[in-house]
Structure 1
Amino acid sequence: MSSEMEEVRLNLGHIELAAHLFGPADGLPVIALHGWLDNANSFSRLAPRLKGLRILALDLAGHGHSDHRPAGAGYALADYAHDVLRVAEQMGWAHFALLGHSLGAIISVLLAGSLPERVTRLALIDGVIPPTSGPQDAAERMGMALQAQLRLDSKRKAVHPTLDQAIEARMKGLVAVSREAAELLAQRGLMPVPGGFSWRSDSRLTLPSPTRLNEAQAMSFVQRIACPAKLVVAAEGMLARHGTLLEQLPFEREQLPGGHHLHLNDEAGATLVADCFNRFFGIP
């Protein structure tokens, strides 16, 4: 396992993103996409264990050291997918694999289904399609999202007096993580502010989506994927309880012990996920 990593920045014209670059220069091109409110350090345990891959682990827009979107803009899934394509152009990668966790897995599925000719392999960790809803909920959801957007102007980010308190807050977040995982995410996600520390992530990331796909629309992306795909399901994660959805997926699937961040929470989990994906990519 090599831990060599290069910090890079990519100017996409409309936004500048930060990233970590791992692996040999002649390795198989892979773009790695982290989960909601995480950052590129999500792959700091996993990426060095993957063999023969040139992995570009992004800070998605609004996360980590990447720029926030301009005032008035939002964080739609299609905009993330567009960013990834711009990144591929910057890297000179006409074809590339995607490695995604949670939100990053969702973006990966949408992109691989939209442009199946561009994506060579799909490696997913505890995420597949976005949350769905029926058409009868569309107007109510839009109203809820618009009101939340207006209220955001009067809200201030939480300030944690100490670094340790900020890390503990991340450990107890909507999706709990280990202390080690929280510390790794904090290295890239925290910034000093008057009175302590605050998370760098854009507050607009917490806004509800004004629209959602219905289940048939979401599954249409899955059905168009043409490349080999491998899904790691965390036994104590978010997908394990969605057996009906999992049975509909035409992907190779493997369930591993651990929570939603099993690839980051500890060395044992990272090793299990790496062993799984090294077999999937098939590079000796």
Structure 2
Amino acid sequence: MDDGMDDGFVRLGERILLYNMYGTAGGVPAISFGGSPSTRWKRPDAVAALRASGLWMAVPDRPGYGGSTRQPGRTVASVVPDTVALADALGWDRFAVTGGSGGGPHALACAALLPDRVTRCAVTASIAPPIVDGPEPTEAEEAADPRRNRTSWKALREDLRPSLEETARSIMAAVEAGGPEFPPDPGAEPGPPAREDPAAMARLTATFVTSHDGWIDDLIAFANPWGFDLADIHVPITLWHGSADERAGKYTDHLTAAIPTAERRYYIGGHIPPTNTYRELLRWLSAGV
């Protein structure tokens, strides 16, 4: 890959945690947690934004993603000791954290449980703790409140692997048919065919083909108690979501109400923020040190 710096790794007992570095060496320290699923490899537009941000950002692969050793039974809060080990290896006493979608809860865990080390936390389109009691939610119940979602409900009762593998096959089939790396926002033109870009195909393969272990373990972790209380977060928090991402907006309603320091930020777009919004988020993160 030529989109980031050479890989680094941290040993955690019998596990290893792989990470990539982006931005400007010696810049403001930050750690970014990818979505579910994702890997440590950033797209070129994100790499360019990071180079201009003044941040020096570590992007680890959570256990079960990329080459990071799987950690069965991990919780959302399990990310905290891994993050401490990574920050210590990099020589960072204080650092900002950020996370998108499924990475959001992991960034929030660090904000809640590492208040003396985390300077700021920005999350994009994050989920909120789900409600998993009672019978399986209906489509109408999930649409009204995404915390009552069937994926989380099933994660406690069924083997998710077959359905995730089918989803991954469907995504890769669309890519092989000429689709872009990411689906476009509603009304926007699709990006160039991913199959024509070896780096994009490598990112997609690492995310959707190589292993589904990290994806499965994330979903199980989200469905179980997260290991911290949102009300215990007191570092500055911004919660970002797109105008076309109704589901994330409903999650953000709950997160904003639960986190004392939360500040809500809207942007025009969908689940993945456009480059100008990502640059704004990075500027906010870098202002905390």
Instruction: Give the TM-score taking structure 1 as reference length.
Output: 0.71
- Sequence identity percentage: 19
Cross-structure match for 2:97: 98
User: Counterpart of 1:209 in 2: which secondary structure?
Assistant: helix
Instruction: Give the TM-score taking structure 2 as reference length.
Output: 0.70
Q: Structure 2: where are the runs of 5+ without partners?
A: 136-151, 184-188
Per-residue CA distance 1:63-96 (angstroms, 9 max, x = gap): 2x323416xx244323333322221122122221
Matches of residues 1-284 of structure 1 in structure 2 within 5 Å? 5-13=4-12, 14-42=14-42, 44-50=44-50, 51-63=53-65, 65-69=66-70, 73-127=72-126, 129-134=128-133, 145=156, 147-148=158-159, 158=169, 164-165=175-176, 168=179, 171=182, 179=191, 186-190=201-205, 199-203=209-213, 205-206=215-216, 209=220, 212=223, 221-237=229-245, 238-242=247-251, 244-245=253-254, 247-248=256-257, 249=259, 250-262=261-273, 269-282=274-287
**Which stretch shifts more, 163-172 or 32-41?**
163-172
Which amino acid is 2:67 matched to?
S
Which amino acid is 2:234 matched to?
A
How much does 1:38 deviate?
A: 1.4
Q: Is this contact kept in 1: 2:30–2:97, CA < 8 A? A: yes
How much does 1:211 deviate?
A: 7.7
Which amino acid is 1:231 matched to?
L
How many pairs does the alignment contain? Answer: 259
User: Counterpart of 1:12 in 2: which secondary structure?
Assistant: strand
How much does 1:232 deviate?
A: 1.4
Q: Is this contact kept in 2: 1:5–1:20, CA < 8 A? A: yes
Per-residue CA distance 1:2-44 (angstroms, 9 max, x = gap): x973122213233223322122222111011110011223464
Per-residue CA distance 1:97-134 (angstroms, 9 max, x = gap): 10111111111112211221121111111115332334
Instruction: Name the CA shift for 1:124/1:144 in 2 (closer, same or farther; >3 Å).
Output: closer
Which amino acid is 2:112 matched to?
G
Whole-Å Cα distance in 2 between the matches of residues 181 and 60 of structure 1? 28
Which amino acid is 1:92 matched to?
G
Structure with a larger share of its residues in strand: 1
How much does 1:181 deviate?
A: 9.9
How much does 1:187 deviate?
A: 2.2
Instruction: Name the CA shift for 1:180/1:12 in 2 (closer, same or farther; >3 Å).
Output: farther
Per-residue CA distance 1:246-270 (angstroms, 9 max, x = gap): 55143122100111122xxxxxx11
